[in-house]
Amino acid sequence: MAILKRIKSTVLSIRESLKRFPITIAISSLLAFLLICLIESQITGDIRETLEKICLVMGLGIPLSLSIALLIEKFFKDNKLHALLLYMAGGLFLIIYYFFLLDNKNVVAGYRYFGTMIFLILAFLYIPRIGKDRDYEYYIMDVLNGFAITFIYSLVLYMGISIILITINQLFDINIKGELFLYTFLIIVFIFAVSLFLSKLPSIQAEYRDIQYNKSLTVLLTYIVIPLISIYTFILYLYFAKILITGQWPRGLVSHLVLWYSTVSVGVIFLLTPILEENRVAKLFKQVFPKIILPVLLMMFLSIYQRVAQYGITENRYYIILLGLWVLGTMIYFSIKKPLKNIFIPISLSIVVLVSIYGPLSSFSIAKYSQNRRFEKILVNNNMIVNGNILPNENLSKEDQKEISNIISYFNRNHNLNDIKFLPDDFSLEDMKSVMGFEFSPYYMDSFEEFRHFYFSIDLEEPINIEGFQYFVNLNTWQENEIQVGELILQYNRQDNTLTISKGDSILLQQSIMDFVQDIYEKQELDSASMKNLLSPSDLTYDISYLGTEDNIEFRFIFKSISGRVDDDDNIDIDGKELILLIGYR
C-alpha cells in the first residue's frame, strides 16, 4: 500500500506541475517527439539541418519558458497582459536565435548556445528568491534534492523498461529494434523526468525557518571535503614554491587545476553558510580559505599571462581568465561580507556568462581583436605591410610562418577569414603562397598541450563502393594477431604501423599505414575547409595493386577513423585508427 501511495503522490505531483508549467512541459514533450521523428525518418540534407536547428532552439526553450513562468509567479501573477508579453518576448528571442545565431555550425555557435543554456539555468535558480534571499542555500538544496529524486526515479524506470524489452526480445524472438531503447530514453528524459523535476520545484512562497541542516551533508563537507581542499591547497603552495625557486613557470594545465578547484570551493562555502555560526570547522574554513587562495589565484593569472603574451587571447583563454576573475571577486566577497547573501553568486555568474557570449566584450569579439593585433604585430615586425596591403615575404622565419598560419587557421575554424585585417576580401587558404609568400603550415597548440591533435572520421551517410572485391576485413590499432583471408595472411605491426600481407613464404605487400595518414592529414590541412572532421569515403580511400606470376590482387584501404598528434616539426604520432581492407582477385 505504501508503494501505491507513493505512486499516487508522484502522479498527483506531476499533474500539478502540468498546471504550473504547461508551456515548459509542452516544449519538452514536443522536443522528444521531434527527436524520435528525426532519428526514425533518417532525413538528410537541408530538411534534417532545419529540424536539428529547431530541436536546438526548443532545447533553449525549456529553461527559457521555465524562467518566464517563475518570473510571472514572482512579479506578475495577477497580470495576464504582462505574462503574455513575457512569453511573446521569449518566443521572439527563440525566433531570432534560430535565424541569426544558429546559421553556421561552428565553434562560436556552440559556445554561444552552451553559454545561453547556462545563463537560463542559473536564472531559474535565483528568480524565485529575488528580494527574498534569506535561507537561499536551503532553497538550492531543495532544488538539488528534487533533481536527485528525479534522476533516481528516471534511471530506475528506464532500467526497468529496458529489462522488460530485453526479456520479451529473448523469450519471444520479436526482434525489437535497438532504436526503441533510445526512444524510451528520450521519452523518460524529456517527458517524465522534466515533469517530475518541475513537480519538485519549491513554490515561490516556500519558507525554510527552523529547518535542521542535513547531518550527512555536514559530515561530508566538514570532515571530508574541507580536509581534501586543504591538502590540495597545501600541494599547490609547495608547487608554486618550487616555481619560485627554480624560476620555471607552470604549464597552462595548472591554470585549469587551480580554476576548477577554486570554483568547487565557492560551492563548498555556499553550502556551508547555514552552519557557519554553529560549526567551528566551517567557520574557520570560511574565514581563512578565501584569503589563502588569493596567492594561488595570482599565480594562476601569471601562468595564463605567459600564454596570452605568447599566443594572444582565444575563446578558451578568455573563459579561463573571466571565470578566474569571477572566483577572485567571489572570494573577496566572502572575505569582507557579513552576513553572506549567497544569491549574489548565481546572479553574478549569470551576468558574467551573458557578457562572455554577447556584445562587444564577448569572448568572440575580444579573441578576434587579440588575434588581429598579434597578426598585425608579426607583419609590422617583418615589414610586410605597405600602404595597408600585405607584401609577400618568402624569407620569413619558420616560427613566424607557423604563427601567421596558426592565426589564419584559427579564424578559418572559429570565425571567418574576412575578419582578419589586411587580407584581401576574397582570400582563401589556397592563396597563402601568393599573398603571404609561403605555404599554409599551421600548428594547433592548446594552452596546456605539447602537440596539436587531429581526428578524421568517414561520413557513414555516403555509400562505399565494394564492387569487384571478394573480401571485407576490419583492421584496428589494437589488432596484431595474424588474420587469415583465404590463402593470404595479414599481420599488422603497431610499432612501425606497417601491414604485411603474405601468401605462404612470400610477402606480397608490405604497406606503411603512416604514408596514408600523412597524405590525409596534409590534404586536409591545405584544404580550403581546413581540418574537417567528417570526410567523404573518397578522401579516405587508397588502392594498391599486386601483380604476380600467379595472382593479380587489388587491395583497397578505406579509413573509418584516424586520430593522432603532430609536433612542431610536423612529425605524426597515431593514437588510434580503424580501417577497412577490401581484397579482390583479378
Per the domain annotation, does 366 fall within a domain? no
Query: Are 151 and 42 within one domain?
Result: yes
Contact present, 55 and 31 (Cβ < 8 Å): yes
Pair (114, 15) in one structural domain: yes
Kindly state whether residues 113 and 192 are assigned to the same domain: yes
End-to-end alpha-carbon separation of the chain, Å?
75
471 found inside a domain:
yes
Q: What pTM does this model have? A: 0.76
Helix 252-272 / helix 315-336 crossing angle, nearest 10 deg: 40
pLDDT above 70 (res 452): no
Q: Are residues 288 and 416 in the same domain?
A: no
The predicted pLDDT at position 387 comes to: 87
Does 306 have pLDDT greater than 70?
yes
What distances in angstroms separate CA 188 from CA 29, 154, 194, 217, one per listed residue? 10, 6, 8, 29
Q: Parallel, antiparallel, or unpaired for β 452-458 and 534-535?
A: parallel
478 within some domain: yes
Residues 407-430, mean pLDDT to the nearest whole number? 90
Rounded to the nearest integer, the mean pLDDT of the chain is: 87
Helices 363-381 and 344-357: crossing angle in degrees, nearest 10, is 50
- For residues 163 and 236, membership in a common domain is answered with no
State percent of the chain over pLDDT 90. Answer: 48
Exposed e or buried b for every residue in 107-122, given b needs 16+ CB within 10 A? Answer: bbeebbbebbbbbbbb
376 lies in some domain: no
> Which residues in 342-477 belong to E strands, given as ranges?
385-386, 389-390, 452-458, 471-476
Q: Is residue 459 domain-shared with residue 570, that is, in the same domain?
A: yes
Q: Alpha helices, DSSP H only, in 101-225?
A: 107-126, 136-172, 179-187, 194-200, 215-220
Q: What is the pLDDT of residues 513-539, one digit of tens each?
A: 888 888 888 777 655 444 467 788 888
Tell me the residue range of the domain where 425 lies.
381-436
* Pairing relationship of beta strands 483-485 and 389-390 according to DSSP bridges: unpaired
Of 125, 102, 100, the residue nearest 113 (C-alpha):
102
**Whether residues 236 and 287 fall in one domain:** yes
Quick one: 28 and 131 in the same domain? Answer: yes
Average pLDDT over residues 269-278: 92
**How many Å apart are CA 517 and CA 498, to the nearest integer?**
12
Q: Is the domain of 252 the same as that of 391?
A: no
- Judged by average pLDDT, the poorest of 71-85, 166-180, 399-413, 416-430 is 166-180
Decide if 205 is inside a domain: no
Residue 404 has pLDDT above 70, yes or no: yes
pLDDT at 456: 86
Domain closes at, from 169, 200, 231: 200
For the chain, how many structural domains are there in total?
Answer: 4
Q: Is residue 165 part of a domain?
A: yes
Q: What is the pLDDT of residue 2?
A: 63
- pLDDT at residue 134, rounded to an integer: 79
Beta bridge pairs of residue 509: 501
What percent of the chain has a predicted confidence (pLDDT) above 70? 92
Q: Is the pLDDT of residue 22 over 60?
A: yes
Under the banding of pLDDT at 50, 70 and 90, the label for residue 448 is very low
What pLDDT was estimated at residue 282?
93
Place of cell 606497417: 498
Closest CA to 525 of 381, 412, 449: 412
8 A C-beta contact, residue 572 and residue 494: no
Domain boundary among 357, 391, 413: 357
Instruction: Looking at the structure, tell me whether residues 177 and 276 fall in a common domain.
Output: no
Answer whether 321's CB lies under 8 Å from 312's CB: no
**537-585: pLDDT as tens digits:** 888 889 988 887 677 889 999 998 888 877 655 678 787 888 889 999 8
Same-domain pairing of 475 and 566: yes
Same domain flag for 408 and 485:
no
